[in-house]
Amino acid sequence: MNPKGVMTSVIKQVTLFEGSALPNVRHDLKGLTMGEGPMDHEVKKEIEEIIKQISCDKSVRCYTSGFKNLCKARDIGLDSYLECLEENPQNCKFSLFFGYSHFCQCPLRIYLSKSIKE
């Protein structure tokens, strides 16, 4: 996380609608902040929409931890990819091996990196 945009969390239970990728899983959204103030409602809504559309083998641990447990990745200037810096990237379904590196294709992780700079 960057020092200017430290994300914090205060517990509020939000249940995703039935039929989502993670039905009846409760998530911590209230109090997430970016920069100086609370995270914009539209950003929260976008994050929820992304989660509804993906199937994550890690049970969206980044989200369920209040963004305290993000996969390690670095923005390398590509629109749809990040460089994956995880220890065992081959264990992630969003990891793409190419050349000598693994690239992250997780829509949520890319959104966080590109839009919120996390």
Domain range list for the chain: 3-116
pLDDT at 39: 64
With tokens 């995703």, the residue in question is 16
With tokens 């919120």, the residue in question is 116
Distance CA 74, CA 82 (A): 6
The series of mean pLDDT values per 10 residues for the chain, 118 residues long, is 30 28 38 53 91 92 89 94 94 94 96 85
Distance CA 18, CA 31 (A): 24
Residue type, 76: I
pLDDT at 115: 86
Q: Report CA dihedral (14, 4, 70, 32) to the nearest 10 degrees.
A: -10
β-pair partners for 13: 28
